[in-house]
Structure 1
Amino acid sequence: MHNLIIYGGTFDPIHNGHIKTAINVQNHFNFEQFIFLPCKIPVLKKKATATAKQRIDMLELAVKNLDQNFEINLSEINRESPSYMVHTLQNFRLELGSELSITLLLGTDSFNQLPQWHNWQQLLTLANLLVIKRCGSDNVVMSEQIKKLLEQHETFDGKTLIRSSHGLIYFYDAGSFNISSSQIRKQLSEGKDPSTYLPEEVAHYIKKHQLYL
């Protein structure tokens, strides 16, 4: 069965935590396609700080020399309306068919917010969910809706994701990376240097274009 995984986000900016998570996922699962999906207008987040072009530029710089079947899909960032993942997955299905295994990569924070997503109940009819454990995520209290979702869809065999077109949830520890884009933006606005948390070429790009000051 052909398979792909989608990693959506604002990537404002993309940082080493994003990249190392993606590499660790690929080293373990070896998806045929690993798609970075930058969004234009995130519904549940504040407006992006860098422009769409700048975020795409940084994403391209971060992944261009990595041999992990990485690619960038601009369908959401080119959309005029807000980014709803369910619409994106529907478009993937229309284009690629019902037999393909599609997996959506999420952090535990986003996973626990699923009931706030547009038409969230449809997500598992379109894709599997690979949930990346975060620092402190074991202490997060799950809602009853999320608990019920796990009772119905959780699998403890990660290999089944690639063999299933949709409908499964699997938790995976891709490593602990205690950094976020918001922390990096804050450091830059305070005149600090967060280069150790960024791919080298991304750090140079941010400095050259004086972003997040």
Structure 2
Amino acid sequence: MGDQTLAGESNASGMHPDQATSRRMPVVCERFDDLGANGAPARLGIMGGTFDPVHIGHLACAEQVREAYGLDAVVFIPAGNPVFKRDRDITPASDRLAMCRLATESNPAFDVSSLEIERGGDTYTVDTLRELRAHYPDNVELVFITGADAVAKIFRWHESEAVAGLARFVAVTRPGYPLDDEMRATFEESPFTVEFLEITGLSVSSSDLRRRVSEGKSIRYLTMSRVRDYVCEHGLYRKEH
């Protein structure tokens, strides 16, 4: 976000304060807000999720899809109020957002957006895709990354027909959920553009990390060390929510 300085001072970039305060605030994220502004074709990967907490499985998935489909960037978008998780308490959005930033900051192709959190209300994929589509020029292709188990239910998503026209979908395999011909055939006559990608299986889940912390067990190597430190420092997951 824009830096603020005292009157008469220059900021770290050497800009005068008047210039710094007039700097446009990012709509989506800091690193890739202007993706496609030069008119060249670009691909933006979208990783949505609760990220409670973010872990190595999320990161490995995003990186493998980025390489396989030549994505120029991947933006992680923590959910604000996910409709499908109303039955349990969720860690405050500010903590989940902070952990995502810590986990992704070392990868120049990754960034994090607070778009869904700032929107408020229930979180629906269609609303997020509409905001992204309105922000980025037409030369930027939106590539929504999701699990094969989740994409199997895509026809029941809120305003699914609208979702189909807003992005291309990459469905990745997860441990214990192999792809089959029947699932692939489901999308052949549908309005959705869905491609399937088998990725290196990492049997890690956010629920398992929360459980391990609540039981006093280590989550070292299951998430980035910075995220692990954040969990410890803020006393997250000490008791199951």
Q: TM-score range by the shorter chain?
A: 0.7 to 0.9
- Residue equivalent to 1:163: none
- Residue equivalent to 1:107: 147
Cα distance in 2, alignment partners of residues 55 and 152 from structure 1:
38
More helix as a share of residues: 1
Cα distance change of structure 1 residues 141 and 49 upon mapping to structure 2, 3 Å threshold: farther
SS at match of 2:44: strand
Length, aligned pairs only:
197
TM-score, normalization by structure 1: 0.84
Q: Is the 8 A contact 2:173 2:179 kept in 1?
A: no
TM-score, normalization by structure 2: 0.75
SS at match of 1:50: coil
Alignment RMSD, CA only? 2.2
1:188 aligned partner, one-letter code: V
SS at match of 1:201: helix
**Aligned mate of 1:151, from 181, 185, 188:** 188
The one-character-per-residue Cα deviations of 1:119-155 (angstroms, maximum 9, x if unpaired) are 112212111100011112127897xxx66641225xx
Stretch moving more, 46-55 or 79-88: 46-55
Please, which runs of 5 or more residues in structure 2 have no aligned partner? 1-40
1:21 aligns with 2:61: yes
Cα distance in 2, alignment partners of residues 57 and 80 from structure 1:
17
Q: Is the 8 A contact 2:66 2:72 kept in 1?
A: no
Cα distance, 1:28 vs. partner? 2.4
SS at match of 2:103: helix
Structure with larger Rg: 2
Cα distance in 2, alignment partners of residues 49 and 192 from structure 1:
21
More relative contact order in 1 or in 2 (CA 8 Å, sep 6+)?
1
SS at match of 2:48: strand
Please, which runs of 5 or more residues in structure 1 have no aligned partner? 154-165
- Residue equivalent to 2:17: none
2:104 aligned partner, one-letter code: V
Cα distance in 2, alignment partners of residues 30 and 141 from structure 1:
25
Cα distance in 2, alignment partners of residues 187 and 140 from structure 1:
33
- Residue equivalent to 1:157: none
Cα distance in 2, alignment partners of residues 195 and 48 from structure 1:
24
The one-character-per-residue Cα deviations of 1:66-89 (angstroms, maximum 9, x if unpaired) are 13x111111101112111111111
